[in-house]
Structure 1
Amino acid sequence: MPLKWNSIHAKLLATYLVLIALGTFLLGGYLLWSFYIFFMNMKQTELEIWSNILSEDIGEALYRNNLEQVQGLVKRYGSPETITLRIFNPQGRLLSTSAPKIDRMIKDWSVIPGMKGAIQNKTVNGVAKGVLSNEDRVYTVRPIIYQGQRLGIIRMSVTITQFQRQFRSLLVTVLGTVMLTFLLCAVISAWLARSLALPILEMRNFAVRLGSGHLGENIYISRGDELGQLASELNRMSELLASVERERRAFLANVSHELRTPVSNVKVTLEALSIGAASEPELCDRFIQTAQNEINRLSRLIQDLLDLGRLEAGVAPLEIQSVSLRSLINRAIEAIELRTFHHGVNINNDVPDLELNVDSERMLQALLNILENAIKYSPPGSTVSLMGYTENNQKIIQIKDEGIGIKPEALPHIFEEFYRSDSSRQSDGTGLGLAISQRIIKAHGGTITADSVLGEGTTIIISFPK
């Protein structure tokens, strides 16, 4: 896959490389600098210790005015190759040195680093070039105090040329190690960035295909991390969208079918009236009644579709209040009293006086749809029973009829729009009543289920949290 510099792969790789470069080079630089400082401090400490010890012996010799002993000490502890030891009087005039060939060429010692401070009775430490050379040296200069008297100045310096050569060798080694570490980390980072970027790119392309209408497809990314979980969620979303699309198409087909039937009936009736049926009053009245019935059916269907659409979109606000379940059931029974009389169905109301926090008008609509459905499929002389009780922190309502029942394979679908299990379930209804009831009950945080036995009847169970 070619690397595009504005891609997430390139950004991840660049981020890794920058962080690795900063980390490795800063760490390498810090280690080198710490080693250098440690060595210089160690050398400086050694010089301070030696100069302090020698100042005692040399101070005693100067106190006795024994310059030969001073010269002996300088010769013993000074080495022309590495260590230079110089002794001065309190005014800064050279008394003895371990490097006489060089020092005889110096006329003014006050310009040598550290000497002005020592003349002023101060101890001075530092790093400077050699007296007549370009090599770096660590030096210490301190006054010689003996028996409370200031008898002279001791200046001791050591070359660090060998250390600098070793340090340069160490620098090359560390830089080489850092570069090798950087290259190894770069290879690992490239692999890691690619392993993260490829699934993201695949999911991006998969989302583009979903947006183009290729619903129901799956993406195969076998990972145990968040990217694998995201791929699983995308697959679930694809299947859900495909299911929603199938339901949408089925819904549109059902709506078209349900609308076409009453419209066709009205059209046929009007055509019959237009070609002469209006001249026969009895036939005309029957046709007009048929047209009115179909228009009422069409009006109910449109109203049910509007209610269902509002509930699905969540734009039907609920006016929640505390309502007596008994009074709500009584209102529903009174509203369908005429239908129960015409169907010859009895209502047995055994609902206690429970309190529900619901929208009373919406719940009344849901109960009416369920009761009308129960009455519709109950034979004359049968009973529709209503019960209410509390169980496991749930308030439960049961509506049981003694009708024809529902086939087991059809039971899971009865709350779907326009669903009818067989021709025996056909009626003058819109096929949306139970679907609307389910949406209303779900909007209140409740659940609705059905249990049925063929030839014995159906039980609708509504549960609300207590």
Structure 2
Amino acid sequence: MRGIRKKLFITYLIITGIIFLLFYLSQVVFIGKIYTYYKINQLKSYSLKIANALATNDYKTANELMEESNAKVIAVTDTGDLVFGTHGNGQGYGIGLPKTYLNTNERLSVIEFTHPSIGVKSLAVIRSFSYNKQNAKLVLTIPLSTITDTTVIFKSEFFLMLLICIVVIIIMSVIMSKRLTKPIDDLKYAAQNIASGNLDVKLDVKTNDELEDLAMSMNSMAKNLSTAEKFKKDLIANITHDLKTPLGLIKGYCEMLLDFYGDDKEKRNRYLNAALNEVDRMSKMIDDVLSLSKLQSGLVKLKITSFNLKNLVDDVILSFEPLLHGKNINIVTENLDVIVNGDVELIRRVLMNLLSNSIKSIDEAGLITISSILEDDHAKVIVSDTGKGIEREKLQDVFKKFYKGDNKGTGLGLAIVREILDLHGSKYHIESEMNKGTSFYFTLEKENT
């Protein structure tokens, strides 16, 4: 991070250098011209105000303005009469201004002259005006030393201030560069930790800018990676455990078949059917894992169509007939003749998973009801059973991956249901009471009529 800190430090110095260069040009190199221009404009302004006051014989205002201007002021008619201002003796009415400068037809003029007696250089503003119906000249003069002395003070103070500012700027540049690069150092450290597998990184960057947004994104990324890592570990652990059992059973049945000498067809078929059931169980588990992975990866794209909910439910129930054979379970459908919008194959998967859970929850005899309630622009689908139910404190866990309320199945059925319904933007929830049954609710958009 030294590179960025160094670049920031140099950038601060360059910007400061440019500012000081402009300040140096204005306060040192061109200060004389700038201040002279300012004083000339100031004298011009006072000359206009004093001339207007004299033209109306307002001597009080004229005197106040003269005092305020800090200049020597005289007003002389073209006939040579001094009508206002300093009553000094000597050449030029005591201000040392050569009379030739008064013999001008210009309305306003600015001149520099040297006092003939004392050699003082002065600046004069001469304005023509009308005084009691006579042409007159108003003269305001200041010594040039007032300008040069001021510029010398500016220059001397500038270099002192420059030295102080350079020290302050260097200190502030170091502090600011460290302060600005510290969040970047923290982000770098967090990225290195995440790359090395440490996902417990928590960044606390409070800068109220894009760096804080980046830190929040990295925290979110670390959390998601941690969740994904946990999911991977759970997946491996559960799959290993769940596949090991059926594989052991298949191996045992196969060994018994190899060791079986005789013509007991019934026993052989029983062993083969048991092995096939375990193969089907493993196949279902693998299929569920692949389905959930696809849904969570965003690879599944919805194919929205309009379909009759009753036809789909009847089709799903029909596929469970072999499983229901010999069981005292009744399935009742109510108010399902409605056209809804959705991905029919994915909704089929939802209904199959819910129906499968309901069948598993009923040990001996029971009732499963599949119905719908029409509400505004959607249909609420309800799958209810009279099974053993789910404990209230465990209801919040039923949608988690690998949750097995009865240690049967893959524990992925409701996790798949959740992902499919989230893709559809459906609202869903579950209600259950021990030894009374469970009801699962979800919504589907009705077809626009």
Per the shorter chain, which TM-score range? 0.7 to 0.9
| 2:368 partner amino acid | V
Q: Give the drift of 1:224.
A: 7.6
Q: Which residue of 2 aligns with 1:161?
A: 145
Which residue does 1:435 correspond to in 2? 415
**Structure 1 counterpart of 2:37:** 37
Instruction: Return closer, same or farther for 1:268/1:363 CA change in 2, 3 Å cut-off.
Output: same
1:419-451 superposed Cα distances (whole Å, 9 cap, x missing partner): 2234xx42xx44332222221111111243322
SS in 2 for 1:410: helix
SS of residue matched to 2:382: strand
CA contact (8 A) 2:340 2:445 kept: no
Of residues 401, 406, 409, the one that matches 2:385 is 401
Cα distance in 1 between the residues matched to 2:90 and 2:138: 10
Matches within 5 A, 1:311-322: 311-322=295-306
How far, CA to CA, are the matches of 1:278 and 1:88 in structure 2? 145
Q: Which residue of 1 aligns with 2:436?
A: 456
TM-score between the two structures when normalised by the length of structure 1: 0.71
Question: Hey, what's the Cα distance between the residues in 2 that align with 1:299 and 1:420?
Answer: 18
Q: Is the 8 A contact 2:76 2:138 kept in 1?
A: no
What is the match of residue 287 of structure 2? 303
**Residues 434/184 of structure 1: CA separation in 2 closer, same or farther (3 Å cut):** same
What is the count of residue pairs matched by the alignment? 414
Distance 1:126-1:337 versus aligned 2 partners, 3 A rule: farther
Aligned to 1:69: none
Amino acid corresponding to residue 458 of structure 1 in structure 2: T
| Alignment-derived partner of residue 75 in structure 1 | 91
Task: Give the match for residue 233 of structure 2.
Answer: 249
* Contact 1:343–1:375 (8 Å) recurs in 2: no
State the secondary structure of the residue aligned to 2:388.
coil
CA change 1:158–1:412 in 2 (3 A) is closer
**AA matched with 1:38:** Y
Q: How far does the alpha carbon of each residue in 1:235-290 deviate from its partner, in whole angstroms, 9 at most, with x for none?
A: 45434432331221011111222233333333333344445558654444333333
Q: Which amino acid aligns with 2:438?
A: T
Unpaired stretches in structure 2, ≥5 consecutive residues: 55-72, 82-87, 131-136
* 8 Å Cα contact 2:331/2:369 also seen in 1: yes
Give the superposition deviation at 1:39. 1.4
Give yes or no for contact 1:344–1:381 (8 Å, CA) kept in 2: yes
In 2, distance between residues paired with 1:288 and 1:135? 128
1:211 & 1:166 partners in 2: Cα distance? Answer: 65
* Distance in 2 of aligned mates of 1:400 and 1:178: 84
1:213 aligns with 2:229: no
Post-superposition offset of 1:382: 1.1
Other-structure match for 1:87 = 100
What stretches of structure 1 of length at least 5 have no aligned partner?
A: 63-71, 91-117, 146-152
2:315 counterpart SS class: helix
Relative distance call for 1:256 and 1:448 in structure 2 (3 A) is: farther
Counterpart amino acid of residue 454 in structure 1: M
- The structural deviation recorded for 1:345 is 1.0
Aligned counterpart for 1:170 among listed residues 137, 144, 154: 154
Task: Give, in whole Å, the separation in 1 of the partners of 2:140 and 2:355.
Answer: 111
RMSD: 4.6
Shift of 1:77: 2.7
